[in-house]
């Protein structure tokens, strides 16, 4: 489908405008149909490029969903809406531009920018500063009523196009690669760090974002309320998976479990926890099972490569036997991503400290559901990569090779608000103002308000490999070292070379339906 409005294309040609001696006035701004015209052009700007089209794209995308024009000021029988009417209508939908002078968003502060537009002062009879500081009662909450229930991905596209500052609008290239416009389940992970030497070997990290609709499905899982409530009741002491320092401070609660009862892990769970119960979130378990299913050919190919690499290395059989069974004698696709750990963390400035993971992170994935944080990775003793994590962020890598640190920021956005469950709790304060071990230059931790029930929720997805011989010891190369280095290099190279994509909501829902069918069949047999 092609959408266009070419009736006034001649008027947009600067040479034609010069030849016809057209000047910018409130009567001759005829570029683009007014309902799809960006505010800067409506206010008299004579500079435009692809940013112009991206505003129109946002308007058209919203209209295709809702069936009505997004920017449509009222008209009367006597008079059509003026340019000022259209600007007012825009402000009512998307709000007024920011008053902050942010060079990354606008070339100058919003007030100065508005004053430079030819028609602004003429129409509003005041400076941009006065207009911005005036009551913004016309600005309604986003999204507008006509876009309620709109798919999250489409809503993002609309919002990224409808930005006041032309330089801050989504580009055509960004729109083309947006997840909403890609074939379902076909968006490959982006290799962020490829086969770089780390502290304990060669590491690779790939990243992607969950489909927005899938993220919303996971975020609305009822499990988060029950887990937040349980955290209150137990005083944040629910598992053995938290480091002693973190347990003492009460910053983090971690809950480990398996994801697939049909292929349960063959060894004990993390940190010698014998719990082999399913992770207490049906939707999260379905996500991991969907990943395992979608990636199964990729994982089986990786398993074959690891076996070939071990044979080609010619290491003694005694070394192969120690920690070699999960790779040499079992289907790696059954062992990959066998465990899930849900981390419920209190917001606040702190570092987890620089470390490498144990053997279960030979292939390790993480997804953030609530909150924001940064994962820093060292290569050659220096921080080379920073993965900014927000809801929907996903990465996978061999974190047993790469020295990394998780930095939690004082300003944590998009948190889960556990206040709704406090009535059933005992009112214990989830906050303790202290910091986990980190670098000496780390900033002092911020005091968290007493009674703050906001939570970050992140998920770690680990593999059932390196079951003994320093399998889980922090900052130590899994043993035997010779065997680890061979299979680890293979994992890093495979992840860097062979593309893989995340499942979408449809694939996760299919796993939920399959699990329900299996459960019903088992109940009938009983």
Mean pLDDT of 165-173: 88
- Strands of 210-262, DSSP E: 252-258
pLDDT of 195 above 90: yes
Query: Which residue did the predictor score with more confidence, 106 or 401?
Result: 401
Query: In terms of Cα–Cα distance, which of 352, 355, 353, 375 is closest to 365?
Result: 375
What are the backbone dihedrals phi and psi of residue 436, each rounded to the nearest 5 degrees, phi first?
A: -70, 170
Beta partners for 252?
Answer: 345
Q: Which of 113-117, 351-355, 483-487 has the highest mean pLDDT?
A: 483-487
Query: Given pLDDT bands bounded at 50, 70 and 90, which one contains residue 105?
Result: very low
Cβ-Cβ contacts under 8 Å for 441 (sequence gap 6 or more): none
pLDDT at position 468 is 78
What the block records as the tokens of 483 is 């065997």
**Domain extent listing, the chain:** 9-181, 190-521
pLDDT in the model for residue 470: 72
Of the listed ranges 299-303, 345-349, 375-379, the one predicted with least confidence: 345-349
* DSSP symbols for 325-363: HHHHTS-HHHHTT-EEEEEEE--SSEE--SB---GGGSS
Quick one: pLDDT at residue 207? 95
Contact 457, 408 (CB under 8 A): no
Q: Which of 507, 285, 52, 50 is nearest to 42 (CA)?
A: 52
Least confident of 159-173, 288-302, 462-476: 462-476
Among the listed ranges 5-14, 167-176, 340-349, which one has the minimum average pLDDT value?
5-14
pLDDT of residue 265: 83
* Distances in whole angstroms, Cα of residue 404 to Cα of each of 198, 222, 385, 409, 494: 10, 32, 9, 16, 21
Residue pLDDT, tens place only, 36-57: 999 999 998 888 788 999 999 9
In sequence order, what DSSP letters do the residues of 450-512 get, joined into one string?
Answer: TT--EEEEEEEEE-S---SSSSS-TTS--SSHHHHHHHHHHHHHHHHHS--B---HHHHHHHH
In the beta sheet, which residues pair with residue 408? 350
Q: What angle do CA 250, 281, 520 make, to 5 degrees?
A: 155
Residue 225 pLDDT greater than 60, yes or no: yes
Which residues share a beta bridge with 405?
376
Any idea which fold 9-181 has?
Transferase(Phosphotransferase); domain 1 (1.10.510)
- Cβ proximity of 225 and 515 under 8 Å: no
From edge to edge, which strands make up the β-sheet containing 382-389? 350-351, 403-408, 373-379, 382-389
SS3 call for 414: coil
Q: Is the pLDDT of residue 474 over 90?
A: no
Model confidence at 110, pLDDT cuts 50, 70, 90, reads confident
- Residue of 371, 379, 355, 369 whose CA lies nearest to 283: 369
CB neighbour class for 375 (10 Å; exposed up to 12, middle 13-18, buried from 19): buried
The first and second tokens of residue 197, run together, are: 């030497």
| Nearest in space to 156 (alpha carbons), one of 234, 75, 211, 236 | 211
**So what's the pLDDT on residue 242?**
47
Rounded average pLDDT over 116-138 = 78
Q: What is the pLDDT of residue 420?
A: 41
pLDDT-derived band at 24, boundaries 50, 70, 90:
very low
- What does the pLDDT read at residue 295? 97
- Checking if the pLDDT of 389 tops 70, the result is yes
Identify the pLDDT of residue 439: 33
For residue 451, pLDDT beyond 50: no
Q: 475 pLDDT band (50/70/90 cuts)?
A: confident
In terms of Cα–Cα distance, which of 84, 61, 62 is closest to 1?
A: 61
Residue 289, Cβ density class (10 Å: 0-12 exposed, 13-18 middle, ≥19 buried) = buried
What is the chain's mean pLDDT, rounded? 79
CA distances from residue 396 to 216, 362, 367, 497 in whole angstroms, order as listed: 21, 10, 9, 14
* Band of pLDDT at residue 489, cut at 50, 70 and 90: very high
Q: Which position has the token pair 């973190």?
A: 246
pLDDT value for 296: 96
Residue 438's pLDDT is: 32
For residues 390 and 99, the model is more confident at 390
| Band of residue 400 on the pLDDT scale cut at 50, 70, 90 | very high
C-alpha dist (Å) from residue 257 to 260, 276, 334, 413: 10, 6, 15, 27
């Amino acid at each position: 489908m092609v959408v266009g409005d070419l009736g006034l294309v001649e008027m947009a040609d600067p040479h034609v405008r010069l030849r016809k001696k057209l000047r910018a006035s409130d009567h001759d701004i005829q570029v683009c149909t007014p309902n799809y015209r960006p505010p800067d052009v409506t206010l008299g700007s004579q500079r435009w490029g692809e940013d112009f089209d991206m505003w129109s794209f946002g308007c058209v995308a919203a209209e295709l969903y809702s069936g009505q024009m997004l920017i449509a000021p009222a008209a009367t029988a006597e008079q059509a809406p003026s340019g000022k009417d259209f600007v007012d209508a825009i402000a009512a939908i998307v709000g007024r531009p920011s008053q902050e002078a942010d060079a990354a968003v606008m070339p100058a502060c919003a007030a100065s920018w508005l004053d430079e537009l030819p028609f602004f002062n003429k129409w509003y009879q005041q400076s941009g500063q006065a207009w911005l500081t005036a009551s913004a009662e016309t600005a309604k909450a986003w999204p507008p009523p006509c876009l309620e229930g709109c798919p999250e991905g489409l809503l993002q596209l609309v919002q990224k196009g409808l930005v006041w500052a032309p330089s801050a609008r989504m580009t055509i290239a960004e729109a083309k690669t947006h997840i909403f416009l890609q074939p379902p389940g076909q968006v490959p992970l982006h290799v962020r760090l490829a086969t770089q030497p780390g502290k304990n070997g060669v590491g690779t990290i790939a990243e992607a974002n969950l489909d927005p609709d899938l993220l919303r499905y996971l975020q609305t899982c009822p499990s988060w309320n029950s887990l937040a409530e349980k955290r209150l009741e137990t005083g944040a002491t629910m598992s053995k998976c938290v480091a002693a320092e973190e347990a003492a401070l009460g910053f983090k609660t971690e809950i480990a479990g398996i994801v697939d009862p049909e292929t349960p892990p063959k060894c004990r769970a993390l940190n010698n926890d014998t719990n082999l119960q399913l992770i207490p979130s049906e939707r999260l378990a379905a996500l991991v099972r969907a990943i395992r299913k979608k990636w199964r050919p990729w994982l089986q190919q990786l398993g074959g490569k690891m076996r070939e690499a071990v044979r080609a290395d010619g290491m003694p059989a005694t070394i192969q036997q120690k920690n070699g069974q999960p790779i040499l004698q079992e289907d790696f696709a059954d062992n990959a991503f066998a465990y899930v750990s849900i981390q419920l963390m209190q917001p606040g400035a702190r570092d987890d400290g620089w470390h490498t993971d144990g053997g279960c992170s030979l292939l390790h994935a993480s997804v953030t559901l609530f909150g924001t944080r940064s994962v820093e990775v060292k290569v050659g003793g220096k921080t080379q990569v920073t993965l900014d994590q927000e809801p929907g962020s996903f990465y996978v890598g061999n974190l047993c090779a790469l020295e990394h640190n998780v930095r939690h920021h004082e300003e944590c956005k998009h948190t889960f608000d556990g206040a709704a469950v406090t009535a059933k709790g005992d009112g214990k304060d989830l906050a303790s103002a202290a910091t986990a071990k980190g670098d000496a230059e780390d900033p002092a931790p911020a005091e968290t308000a007493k009674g703050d029930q906001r939570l970050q929720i992140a998920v770690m997805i680990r593999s059932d490999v390196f079951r003994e011989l320093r399998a889980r010891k922090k900052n130590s190369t899994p043993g035997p070292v010779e065997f680890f280095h061979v299979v680890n290099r293979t994992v890093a190279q495979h992840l860097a070379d062979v593309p893989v994509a995340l499942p979408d909501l449809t694939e996760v829902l299919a796993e939920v339906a399959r699990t329900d069918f299996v459960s019903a069949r088992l109940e009938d047999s009983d």
